[in-house]
Structure 1
């Protein structure tokens, strides 16, 4: 097998591993009404199936990366996929909302291995522009998940009830389990692994979390993505209540958005080595900002949002996010070459905690109005951009002379 074929296979596998997290969120969106009717639950209660999943995902994401630093990437991914498959069986067999929420939490506890550990695998295998290209390829393939997941969920509901969606997730996770066992090599050799010492892990976490540069980069990425995730978390209300579509028409919302993300990921990969990472992030924020302005202006001028104008701004917003994400992620991983798993975990948990708050608190409050969703997205983007501008100013400011040796900060320029 040629190196090019091997790289493509790794990209497909890592993208698949990252996809089963979004699949477990988006495939059930079309089934909210059916599930709510069976469990006698209102929209706010059904929204907790997303919030519980994300909270568990965020909490366990702190552990996935360091475990892979200690035990190896491959072993942690295989165990995570096994637990996810069992949790999906529990969701499919749930007879009440409480049981469903318990197994949704178990899904969340295991789903992060693909995305979090997969990022560390990329940085283990490649450096510099090659790492950016592979990260962009994975992001481009991964972007398909939010688009096709609700469509698949709608198709399944066309011939079976909602439990069949979770049986689909069982099959999908088992297929990934086999592919990982068969094709994913161990990229973190024994001699490079950390020791499983809780005090050391806590010290590493504290060093990463308290690093000002990590805080700026992680916050810039998290708030930037939340401008779009607010719509993703509000998809059932946005599609069926605001756009007045049915459960089989989620593609009208997701396909344009994901098309923008795929195009942005492709451009990011092509730009590697040609345009600086910092310049690409600037361009990404400009694109997202233009999309937000257009979105607010449109919703101020209409009483009933219509296709395609209601979703086109999200295409440009997603394009901008896809330019920003690989650069910020690789910058964080490069800060900690011996603790990439821990760094990936901390970045993911930062984003996931924010997303859990968006899904559980803000989405129910704002999803009744397209204008309020647009304003909420604008606030998130403005916060993310502010953190990025802060990072850019720090990067351009020469260090002040000090009487002693300079402090060691594990950072590299973008």
Structure 2
């Protein structure tokens, strides 16, 4: 569905902004962990739960955002989600104990997924094929700024205010996004294309999608590939301040190279659309991540005290590879179910978010004790993701460019 009069550049900026407020919710508070822990009486492990609770709620609600947008329209669901996120951020800013903060962090997580999940469906509503890949890459390139600037903004805010000011910043950011969405986002999913909002239908769709072995392989490949990098994002406070011995205003040493690689990869992906096959781009992406992980392990084995820039350069190459893989895998999943794009996007996001929540709540506190542990666990995630991709590639050798499309789930179709 190509809407006349839609500015591609404005749409890319808006959709990237909508995807940003999720990462902003995680990364802006990293520099404030020590101050928040001292004021709330929480140790490092307890503070890590502010990330885990957010991600668990994000994952649980992610399976609802997409189908709601399939039934009610993309624009309405995004506006409602932004409103809830704004109220949750106000609650976080006013919290005076850890329990209250965790409750409002969960509410943030319940609403934060609308921008990323529904935004993917909007892209596929608007454009097809190479055009969709280009817009997805543009959104990824702009969106990549968020994890780089968020902790830097958090550090700046701490320079003149206490930690609640970070959440007031999130309030202002989400209000601005609500106004921009209301003004510039058209409805890309017309009423005649909508599916009824039925719990029974939703369950049936999800079971059918999840049981599709090809969906499982693609979703797992994308989730485990990104997990190798997310392990470091979730461990950023320990990695930056404990392992690298940097200050609370020096998170940019970690995030800027990482996001620089991601933005460059997204740019290359967009330029390659229509010129290089999707399968080849994914292979190149995994190869880049593999070289990065191998270099990271070697560096941590050879040095007793990791230092910048050498300790963070592998992150740039790894994120470059991830940016090549992500658009191809995501569009392949969305194209499998053209009538249930919201549901497919939700289930893909849910797969990755469950894994990320486990990383933030369980693996990150254990692996962030040393640089070599982080490197080895990250290598394990990359190998698993690559294994799922190779499995899919072997099943799809007869289609080097266009990945096969699953038939849509029709009303009344048996499981």
TM interval, shorter chain, is over 0.9
Counterpart selection for 2:407 from 390, 399, 410: 410
Gaps of 5+ in 2: 400-404, 409-415
Q: CA offsets, 1:286-311, max 9 Å, x none?
A: 00000000000000000000110000
SS at match of 2:396: helix
1:214 correspondence with 2:215: yes
Deviations 1:192-225 (A, max 9, x none): 0001121111110001011000000000000000
Say which SS state the counterpart of residue 369 (structure 2) adopts: coil
- Equivalent residue number for residue 68 of structure 1: 69
- 1:37-79: CA deviation from partner (whole Å, max 9, x where unpaired): 0011110000000000000000000000000000000000000
Note if 1:273 corresponds to 2:267: no
Hey, what's the Cα distance between the residues in 1 that align with 2:5 and 2:292?
A: 36
Question: TM-score, normalised on structure 1?
Answer: 0.95
Flag as ranges the 4+ runs of structure 1 deviating above 4 A: 2-5
Give the distance between the partners of 2:52 and 2:199, measured in 1 at CA.
29
In the alignment, is residue 190 of structure 1 matched against residue 187 of structure 2? no
> RMSD value over aligned CA atoms?
1.3
- 2:312 aligns with 311
Distance 2:407 2:336 in 1: 5
Residue number in structure 2 paired with 1:49: 50
> How far 1:397 sits from its partner (Å)?
6.8
Structure 1: 5+ residue stretches without partners: 399-407
Report how many residues are paired.
401
Are 2:292 and 2:317, in contact at CA under 8 Å, matched by a contact in 1? yes
Report Cα offsets for 1:102-144 as digits up to 9, x if no partner.
0000000000000000000000000000000000000000000
Alpha-carbon separation, structure 1, partners of 2:34 and 2:93: 16
Change (3 A) 1:338 1:3: closer
Deviation, structure 1 residue 162: 0.1
User: How far does residue 396 in structure 1 lie from its aligned partner after superposition?
Assistant: 2.2
Does the 8 Å CA contact 2:225/2:382 hold for their aligned counterparts? yes
Q: Could you tell me how far apart the structure 2 residues matched to 1:395 and 1:124 are?
A: 25
1:200-239 alignment runs, 5 A limit? 200-239=201-240
TM-score, structure 2 normalization: 0.95
Find the counterpart in structure 2 of residue 114 from structure 1.
Answer: 115
SS in 2 for 1:87: helix
Alpha-carbon deviation of 1:314?
0.5
